[in-house]
Amino acid sequence: MRIDVDLALADPRPGATPLRASEFDDSDAHLAVIHVNGPLAEGEGVRFFLEQVRLLIGRGIGIFVIDLERAPRVDRAGVGALAAAYNLIRDARGKVRYIVTSHDVLIGIRKNHLDRVFEIFQNEAATLAGFARPRTERRCSQRAAGHS
């Protein structure tokens, strides 16, 4: 099951959550795509973003795609929030990938050398493709290609 979460960071209401309990009724839920809408910048938006990541982890989500396509700006605090989300997800034994289409956002990530750590893609289809194949299938295809 896939959960799509749209985070409107421009004006998050105190205590607001875009998630509904009904979205978690299926115990097979394992993938969340977080669409960041608005600047991921210092203040309430960063706190709200991390709160949603923690909530999803608490609900058992283990695979995350953080889509920054509609985030026109990611400041230093926003880059820190992306790194914090990465650490939270990794500590929960999950996986995370990022969709980054803005050159300015990518520069902010590169300035902090996070491009060496983050798995960054330019569209959702490419991001999800690697999650789709089972691990054993990937090993078999690597062997078939002459890799061990």
DSSP string across 72-139 = S-B-HHHHHHHHHHHHHHHHTT-EEEEE---HHHHHHHHHTTGGGTS-EESSHHHHHHHHHS-HHHHH
- Provide the pLDDT for residue 26: 45
Q: Which of 13, 97, 99, 85 is nearest to 51 (CA)?
A: 85
Counting DSSP H helices and E strands in the chain, the numbers are: 5, 5
Would you identify the CATH topology of the domain 2-144? Answer: Transcription Regulator spoIIAA (3.30.750)
- Provide the pLDDT for residue 135: 46
Whether the pTM exceeds 0.85: the reply is no
- Provide the pLDDT for residue 31: 85
Q: Residue 42: helix, strand or coil by DSSP?
A: coil
- Provide the pLDDT for residue 3: 53
Token pair belonging to 115? 């491009």
- Which residues have C-beta within 8 Å of that of residue 56, sequence separation ≥ 6? 3, 5, 19, 32, 34, 64
- Domain positions in the chain: 2-144
- Provide the pLDDT for residue 8: 53
For residues 71 and 41, the answer to whether their CB atoms sit within 8 Å is: no
Separation CA 35–CA 56 (nearest Å)? 14
- Provide the pLDDT for residue 137: 39
CA dihedral over 77, 83, 87, 88, signed as positive or negative: positive
Each residue's pLDDT, cut to its tens digit, for the chain (148 residues) gives 455 566 554 444 444 444 443 344 443 548 888 988 888 888 888 888 999 999 999 988 889 999 999 888 899 999 999 999 999 999 999 999 999 999 999 999 999 999 999 999 999 888 888 766 554 433 333 334 444 4
